[in-house]
With several copies, the nearest count.
Chain A
Amino acid sequence: MFRVTDRPLDLQELVDFVTDPEAGAVTTFIGTTRNNNEGRKVIALEYEAYPEMAEKELIRLGEEAKRRWPICRMAIAHRIGPVQITQPSVMIAVSAAHREAAFAACRFAIEEIKRIVPIWKKEVFEGGEVWIGTQSGEPLAPGKRP
């Protein structure tokens, strides 16, 4: 289950999706809007996606995780639009026979989402707003996937 949606996210739905009789471990990650960032008082975050490509990239990173670790199932849901303080913007659930793989694949998924999945985040704070992004990343090598 790899989904980009403008509706609130439901953790139990993801956990139910990855439930598997072969699994002894489920890990989840939830990204939430926190009330401060780099000294700014945050009001909300607003997410924008290139939805068709974002879902393809989520599927691709799920396949890559299955190649790297012995996991059972993975589910990712990312919300777009405004996300208020304490509310979830992204949820990941991973099941595996053993916890090592479940932790590693869950961590991999959130790092990849933040590295490569075309979803952008605008921070609305007291006094202004700003698109979050790095100015110092490596440029894309010609012909390489980032």
Chain B
Amino acid sequence: MKVKVKLFAILRERVGAGDLTLDIEDGSTVADLWRRLQQTYPKLNVPGIRLLYAVNQNYVSPNEVLKDMDEVVFVPPVSGGEACFA
């Protein structure tokens, strides 16, 4: 099945693209997808970064099982925090 991934902020800059479409196996979770992306784009390994996860514009746990054509966003820290030079 296919899922759409949107990348923002530091993740978008590191990959050099904001929108990806990926083929993944049925039953894959959000965490599985993130591991797969990190293998494809090693620059996504930002040391110490705390991500949140959103599917179809709602926050979910990393154990959420994905469905065909889901829109997945890996949410880096939002604007309230301190500088992250990693």
Question: When A and B assemble into the complex, do they touch directly, with CB atoms less than 8 Å apart?
Answer: yes
Residue numbers of A with Cβ under 8 A of B are: 37-38, 47-50, 52-53, 56, 111, 113-123, 130-146
Q: Give the complex CA separation of A49 and B9 in angstroms.
A: 8
Decide if B80 touches A114 in the complex (CB within 8 Å).
yes
CB distance from B32 to the nearest CB of A (A): 14
| Majority-rule SS of B interface residues | loop
How close is B81's CB to chain A, nearest CB, in angstroms? 3
**Assuming A118-B73, A146-B52, is B81 touching A133 (CB within 8 A)?**
yes
**B83 surroundings in chain A (CB, below 8 A):** 37-38, 123, 130-133
- Which of A113, A115, A120, A144 has most chain B Cβ within 10 Å? A120
A50 contacts across to B, CB distance below 8 A = 6, 8, 54, 57, 73, 75
Q: How large is the interface on B (under 10, 10 to 19, 20 to 34, 35 or more residues)?
A: 20 to 34
The distance from the CB of A115 to the nearest CB of chain B, in whole angstroms, is 6
Q: Is there contact, CB below 8 Å, between A137 and B73?
A: no
Complex interface: chain B residues within 8 A of A132 (CB): 77, 79, 81-84
B residues 8-35 with Cβ under 8 Å of A? 8-10, 12-13
Bound together, the chains give a CA A143 to CA B31 distance in angstroms of 13
Q: Which residues of A contact B80 (CB under 8 A)?
A: 111, 113-115, 134
CB-nearest residue of chain B relative to A55? Answer: B57
Taking a contact as CB atoms under 8 Å apart, the answer to whether B50 and A134 are in contact is yes
Chain B residue, CB-CB nearest to A60 = B58
Across the interface, do A118 and B75 meet the contact criterion of CB distance under 8 Å? Answer: yes
Contacts of B85 in A (CB 8 A): 130
Establish whether residues A146 and B79, one from each chain, have CB atoms under 8 Å apart when the complex forms: no
**Cβ-defined contact, A134 with B52, below 8 A:** no
Q: Is A133 touching B49 in the complex (CB atoms < 8 A)?
A: yes
Bound-state CA distance A52–B51 (Å) is 19
Please name all residues of chain B whose beta carbon is closer than 8 Å to the beta carbon of A52 when the two chains form the complex.
57
